[in-house]
């Protein structure tokens, strides 16, 4: 284990680990969590999808529920136990939190080793649909993913909530997928001047870990209003969503409320979330909510069904493949609580580069971990311009902040607040945020294999140091995959 991988005092003022010494009781997985903490165990099990089986992870509470939910204003007090054979590091996606608890291995924290426990404790200042996932290696592909739902107080939801987790499923080993991509197994794509829709072929798209041939059923009552919290936890599948016959409107994206946008068709990029509100019609009925992965015929979904209705038989394949996400939806979104108007203090550009043939993906011409951090000062209004020079759509994510989309393809807007924005081929997208949270914060493409192939950099607040830990020195030791 690398000495530098140990931060000092990053979590709740406690040293994270004591090298070569026995771990204190609170740091050992297995026992009851300290008072006031919820335990989240990472375990491994098998998942069989249409006759194909693979090992997948679960991040679960003691009752088996995946992930965590709570109320804004509460503290996120969680003891994470590593009950698997590999190290991992969990990132709380979209959450505003102290940098030392952000869960990026070797940048904000060392990974959590088998048998170890780590305590997290910070106040929740947001409410909405978030999620958690491993930021270590390629574990996200094996579903080291779960929801993180924060409600407005009072804690009782004002309408029925249905959480929909999308995952892509493959029986192939993620490291073999990456090796193949690097080997240029798609050399035929080399000179493609048309958009590349997908680079990895999956076996299936899943909703709540089930295929559409055996979907998760949500019991609904005629006349009631429901809120769907849909989370794209896939490693590489941007999706189209359709609510079919059920009239629905989007009311939030990435946890942030928007001016309601009517459906029935929506776009949802990798790592993004969308909350849909729908009123179940009177009388019995079954209403499939379907996702189709772009560039493929793969479908997944859940079915909302009243007590007296029959569940339809659904195929996991669409009659024809979906095209590319248009990203036109982004220009139509309006935040209900836009950023306060003020001039931009600091403009930074983030140029998205790379190609399918070499399978090296870059930001500002740099490939992680050989990067120069983007520097900001605390208190600045910062503008990022994402410029996509590639032929693929990239879902770009900034850790620890919420930004507002201010320009898409040349058109100014007071767009949605988000943590992940799609940037289409040859497109420029501008976002603004206030630099309020000192730290080292990752900026990366959320397509897992792009991130693994270098499409990642870091935002650094001038003067910020993480104790004696030097993330930049350790970045060079980031495990090459």
Q: Which residues are bridge partners to 457 per DSSP?
A: 443
Is 253 in contact with 329 (CB distance < 8 Å)?
A: no
Nearest in space to 223 (alpha carbons), one of 164, 151, 334, 304: 304
Is residue 271 at the binding interface for ligand C2O, with CB under 6 A as the rule?
A: yes
Is residue 442 at the binding interface for ligand C2O, with CB under 6 A as the rule?
A: yes
Place of tokens 């859940």: 302
Is residue 401 at the binding interface for ligand C2O, with CB under 6 A as the rule?
A: no
Stretch 226-265: interaction string toward ligand C2O, x if CB under 6 A: ----------------------------------------
Q: Which of the 8 DSSP states describes residue 473? A: H
Is residue 93 at the binding interface for ligand C2O, with CB under 6 A as the rule?
A: yes
Which partner in Cu ion, ligand C2O, none is near 39 (CB below 5 to 8 A by kind)? none
Cβ-count burial 348-372 (b if 16+ within 10 Å, e if not)? eebbbbbbbeebebbbbebbbbebe
Q: In the range 377-396, which residues lie near Cu ion by CB under 5 A?
A: 394
Is residue 178 at the binding interface for Cu ion, with CB under 5 A as the rule?
A: no
Is residue 447 at the binding interface for Cu ion, with CB under 5 A as the rule?
A: yes
CA pair distance 34, 14, nearest whole angstrom? 14
Q: Using the rule CB under 6 A, which residue among 117, 229, 273, 397 binds ligand C2O?
A: 397
CB neighbours of residue 59 within 10 Å: 25
Helix (H) or strand (E) holding 187: none
Is residue 117 at the binding interface for ligand C2O, with CB under 6 A as the rule?
A: no
Burial class (CB in 10 A: 0-12, 13-18, 19+), 85: exposed
Is residue 270 at the binding interface for ligand C2O, with CB under 6 A as the rule?
A: no
Please report how close the Cβ of residue 131 comes to ligand C2O at its closest, in angstroms: 7
**Site size toward Cu ion, by CB under 5 A:** 4
Tell me whether residue 92 or residue 359 sits nearer to ligand C2O (CB atom).
92
Q: In the range 45-64, which residues lie near ligand C2O by CB under 6 A?
A: none
Using CB under 5 A, which of the segments 13-21, 246-254, 439-447, 465-473 binds Cu ion? 439-447
CB neighbours of residue 223 within 10 Å: 11
* CA contacts within 13 A on the Cβ side of 205: 32
CA 390 to the chain's CA centroid: 22
Tell me whether residue 126 or residue 349 sits nearer to Cu ion (CB atom).
349
Structure tokens at 167: 């995952």
Is residue 450 at the binding interface for ligand C2O, with CB under 6 A as the rule?
A: no
Using CB under 6 A, which of the segments 13-21, 308-316, 356-364, 439-447 binds ligand C2O? 439-447
Residue ranges that bind ligand C2O, judged by CB under 6 A: 91, 93, 133, 135, 271, 397, 399, 442, 444, 446
Residue ranges that bind Cu ion, judged by CB under 5 A: 394, 445, 447, 450
């Amino acid at each position: 284990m690398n000495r530098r991988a140990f931060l000092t005092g990053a979590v709740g003022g406690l040293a994270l680990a004591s090298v070569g010494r026995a771990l204190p009781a609170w740091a050992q997985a297995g026992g009851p969590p300290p008072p006031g903490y919820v335990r989240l165990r990472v375990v491994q099990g098998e998942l069989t999808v249409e006759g194909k089986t693979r090992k997948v992870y679960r991040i679960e509470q003691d009752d088996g529920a995946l992930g965590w939910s709570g109320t804004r204003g509460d503290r996120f007090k969680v003891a994470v136990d590593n009950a698997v054979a590999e190290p991992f590091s969990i990132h709380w996606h979209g959450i505003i939190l102290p940098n030392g608890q952000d869960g990026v291995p070797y940048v904000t924290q060392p990974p959590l080793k088998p048998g170890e426990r780590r305590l997290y404790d910070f106040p929740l200042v947001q409410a909405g649909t978030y999620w958690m996932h491993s930021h270590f290696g390629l574990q996200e592909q094996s579903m080291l993913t779960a929801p993180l739902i924060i409600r407005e107080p009072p804690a009782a939801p004002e309408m029925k909530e249905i959480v929909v987790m999308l995952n892509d499923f493959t029986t192939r080993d993620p490291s073999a997928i990456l090796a193949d991509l690097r080997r240029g197994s798609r050399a035929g794509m080399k000179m493609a001047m048309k958009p590349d829709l997908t680079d990895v072929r999956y076996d299936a798209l899943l909703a709540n870990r089930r295929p559409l041939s055996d979907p998760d059923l949500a019991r609904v009552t005629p006349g009631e209003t429901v809120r769907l919290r849909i989370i794209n936890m896939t490693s590489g599948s941007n999706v189209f969503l359709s609510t079919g016959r059920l009239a629905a409107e989007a009311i939030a994206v990435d946890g942030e409320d928007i001016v309601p946008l009517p459906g029935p068709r929506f776009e949802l990029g990798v790592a993004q979330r969308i909350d849909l509100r729908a009123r179940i019609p009177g009388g019995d009925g079954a209403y499939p909510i379907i996702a189709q992965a772009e560039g493929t015929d793969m479908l997944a979904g859940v079915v909302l069904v009243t007590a007296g209705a029959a569940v339809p038989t659904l195929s996991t394949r669409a009659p024809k493949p979906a095209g590319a996400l248009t990203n036109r939806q982004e220009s139509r979104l309006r935040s209900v609580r836009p950023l306060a108007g003020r001039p931009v203090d600091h403009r930074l550009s983030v140029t998205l580069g790379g190609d399918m043939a070499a399978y090296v993906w870059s930001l500002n011409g740099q490939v992680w971990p050989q990067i120069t951090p983007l520097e900001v000062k605390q208190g600045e209004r910062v503008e990022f311009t994402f410029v996509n020079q590639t032929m693929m759509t990239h879902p770009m994510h900034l850790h620890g902040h919420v930004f507002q989309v201010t320009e898409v393809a040349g058109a100014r807007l007071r767009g949605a607040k988000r943590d992940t924005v799609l940037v289409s081929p040859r497109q420029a997208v501008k976002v603004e945020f206030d630099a309020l949270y000192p730290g080292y914060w990752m900026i990366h493409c959320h397509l897992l294999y792009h991130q693994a192939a270098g499409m990642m950099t870091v935002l650094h607040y001038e003067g910020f140091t993480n104790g004696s830990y030097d993330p930049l020195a350790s970045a060079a030791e980031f495990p090459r995959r």
